[in-house]
Amino acid sequence: MAGAKEIRTKIASIKSTQKITKAMEMVAASKMRRAQERMRAARPYAEKIRTVIGHIRLANPDYRHAFLVEREVKSVGIIVVSSDRGLCGSLNVNVFKQTLAAVREWQQKGCEVHLCLIGSKSMQFFRRLKLPIAASVAQLGDKPHVADLIGAVQAMLAMYREGKVDRLSLVSSNFVNTMTQKPEERMLLPAETVDASELQARWDYIYEPSAAELLDGYMMRYVESQVYQAVVENLACEMAARMVAMKSATDNAGSLIEELQLIYNKARQAAITKEISEIVGGAAAV
Amino acid sequence: MANTIHVDIVSAEGEIHSGSAEMVFVPASMGEIGIAPRHAPLLTTLKAGEVRVKPAGGGEELWFWIGGGALEIQPHLVTVLADTAARAKDLDEAAALAAKQRAEEALKDRTGAIEVAEAQAELARAAAQLKAIEKLRKLKRG
């Protein structure tokens, strides 16, 4: 009987695949917990600096920083945050879809679009489209640091300062819960105001040293922290998505094995029946 | 409430301290400043050094080391934004250039070795899958 051995090999190979997907699921689960903690740890800074920027917008300085002033939009910059590795379901594809929708919308308005790509998956995807890529950074690992992102962010800020980009936004996955990750576009520059009604109407800061220098530093830190927050959140999303994807892969492998086992049993039964009937036939002939 | 001020010390990679204080000392770039409650609104940058917090209601003075950062003072609130990355203008510019270069290389290098290997691996996987499906079909029919 030729089929039985083949089926047995097949079952063994699916079983080993199942072991791998099971292991990946568990690794992703434990990494997700750590990534979520990191996401939580990064939140206070991002919130604080957003409040500070909101205060700065409400102040009445003589000096108006370029990052706070709205200009006519002729070209836009989009920072895309994706994962470095695949096998995480539709996470990256959803982000790319959202990005493409935004790109198309701006192009219809006759705007140029410059991209800043974070994560190797976005690089692989957007390289094929003929869009100008201003900066990119990849291979951030499981513990991304702000220092790794400074370069890419600086490149985009320089473009904004030089007037090559009039609006800067960020597309990344939003961690809703383990099962759901939603792609989201957020505007970074010009900075939005936050509500801070407890402050008096007319006042200004004491600046030490000069307002220009200070605000530059603040805006830089603001954008960096927002991007960092997005990267950390994306990591948590990636792990959650991978966990779910690997779980369903493990389940699928399980049902495939069951099916194959049934086929194998039937084939074995048929072979035995055949053999018996041959023996019986042979005995009757004697 | 009148004679205490709320202090938040945060870095991008985590919250460091939050609570009310009687007095806060920070290493501002123009020299150390002491902040009492109802300080005038002030923005400044910080250099590397220690932040000292005298907690409200007495108790031991708290020390935090920071590697530079930014500071915002509102009459009722002090926010210390500590940097996690050592930074200098030149360093930042170099990093920006590197990011640009990476993007350019990624564009030029359309048939990078890594991609070819990746594509081959994917192809092999797909072929194996097809074979498995075909075999399964044959067995079901037979």
Q: What is the mean pLDDT of residues A60-65?
A: 69
Whole-number mean pLDDT of chain A?
87
Please indicate whether residue B118 or residue A145 has the higher confidence score (pLDDT): A145
- Confidence check: pLDDT of A78 > 90: yes
As a whole number of angstroms, the distance between CA B81 and CA A49 comes to: 8
Out of A244-248, B85-89, B115-119, the most confident range is A244-248
Contacts of A211 in chain B (CB under 8 A): 43
Contacts of B85 in chain A (CB under 8 A): 145-147, 150
Work out the pLDDT band at B137, boundaries 50, 70, 90.
confident
Q: Which residue reads 């002090």 in tokens? A: B78
Q: How many Cα atoms occupy the beta-carbon half-sphere of B15 within 13 Å?
A: 15
Give the residue from chain A lying closest to B108, CA to CA: A127
Mutate which: A47, A118, A122, A127, vs B, most B CBs within 10 A = A127
Q: How many Cα atoms occupy the beta-carbon half-sphere of B64 within 13 Å?
A: 27
Distance, in angstroms, between A31 CA and closest chain B CA?
17
Q: What pLDDT is recorded for position A86?
A: 87
- At a CB cut-off of 8 Å and minimum separation 6, what does A105 contact? none
Q: What pLDDT is recorded for position A146?
A: 84
Q: Exposed, middle or buried, A274 (CB in 10 Å: 0-12/13-18/19+)?
A: exposed
As a whole number of angstroms, the distance between CA B115 and CA A131 comes to: 20
- Confidence check: pLDDT of A54 > 90: no
Alpha-carbon Rg for chain B in angstroms: 28
Q: Which residue reads 């039985």 in tokens? A: A4
The reply to whether residue A208 touches residue B28, judged by beta carbons under 8 angstroms, is yes
Distance, in angstroms, between B29 CA and closest chain A CA?
8
The reply to whether residue A199 touches residue B74, judged by beta carbons under 8 angstroms, is yes
Contacts of B110 in chain A (CB under 8 A): 127
What distance lies between CA A41 and its chain's CA centroid?
18
Work out the pLDDT band at B57, boundaries 50, 70, 90.
confident
Nearest to A218 among B70, B92, B115 (CB): B70
Beta strands in A121-217 (DSSP E): 133-137, 167-175, 181-189, 206-208
The reply to whether residue B106 touches residue A44, judged by beta carbons under 8 angstroms, is no
Q: What pLDDT is recorded for position A47?
A: 86
Nearest to B96 among A3, A146, A158 (CB): A158
Q: Is A237 annotated in the active site?
A: no
Helices A91-108 and A211-285, interaxial angle, to 10°? 130
Contacts of A116 in chain B (CB under 8 A): 99
Mutate which: B9, B10, B108, vs A, most A CBs within 10 A = B10
Contacts of B30 in chain A (CB under 8 A): 208-209
Q: What pLDDT is recorded for position A213?
A: 80
The reply to whether residue B29 touches residue A209, judged by beta carbons under 8 angstroms, is yes
Number of A:B CB contacts under 8 A? 147
Q: What pLDDT is recorded for position A143?
A: 85
- CA separation, residue B106 to residues A67, A129, A231, B89 (Å): 29, 13, 20, 26
Q: Which residue reads 């590795």 in tokens? A: A85
Q: What pLDDT is recorded for position A25?
A: 94
Return the HEC string of A201-257.
CCCCCEEECCHHHHHHHHHHHHHHHHHHHHHHHHHHHHHHHHHHHHHHHHHHHHHHH
Strand order in the sheet with A112-118: A133-137, A112-118, A75-81, A167-175, A181-189
pTM: 0.80
The reply to whether residue A208 touches residue B41, judged by beta carbons under 8 angstroms, is no
Q: What pLDDT is recorded for position A23?
A: 94
Work out the pLDDT band at A92, boundaries 50, 70, 90.
very high
Q: What pLDDT is recorded for position B130?
A: 67
Q: What pLDDT is recorded for position B124?
A: 66
As a whole number of angstroms, the distance between CA B23 and CA B21 comes to: 6
The reply to whether residue B103 touches residue A55, judged by beta carbons under 8 angstroms, is no
Residue (of B99, B41, B137, B61) closest to A116 by Cα position:
B99
The reply to whether residue A38 touches residue B13, judged by beta carbons under 8 angstroms, is yes
Q: What pLDDT is recorded for position A127?
A: 87
As a whole number of angstroms, the distance between CA A281 and CA A88 comes to: 58
- Confidence check: pLDDT of A196 > 60: no
The C-alpha angle with vertex B70 and arms to A142 and A118, in degrees rounded to 5, equals 30
As a whole number of angstroms, the distance between CA A54 and CA A223 comes to: 13
A183 preceded by a cis bond (ω within 30 of 0): no
Please indicate whether residue B133 or residue A236 has the higher confidence score (pLDDT): A236
Q: What pLDDT is recorded for position A195?
A: 52
A224-264 tens-digit pLDDT = 888 999 999 999 999 999 999 999 999 999 999 999 999 99
DSSP code of A20? Answer: H
Nearest to A44 among B15, B72, B106 (CB): B15
Q: Exposed, middle or buried, B17 (CB in 10 Å: 0-12/13-18/19+)?
A: middle
What distance lies between CA B105 and its chain's CA centroid?
27
Query: How would you classify the pairing of strands B77-82 and B62-74?
Result: antiparallel
Q: What pLDDT is recorded for position A118?
A: 93
Contacts of B140 in chain A (CB under 8 A): 263
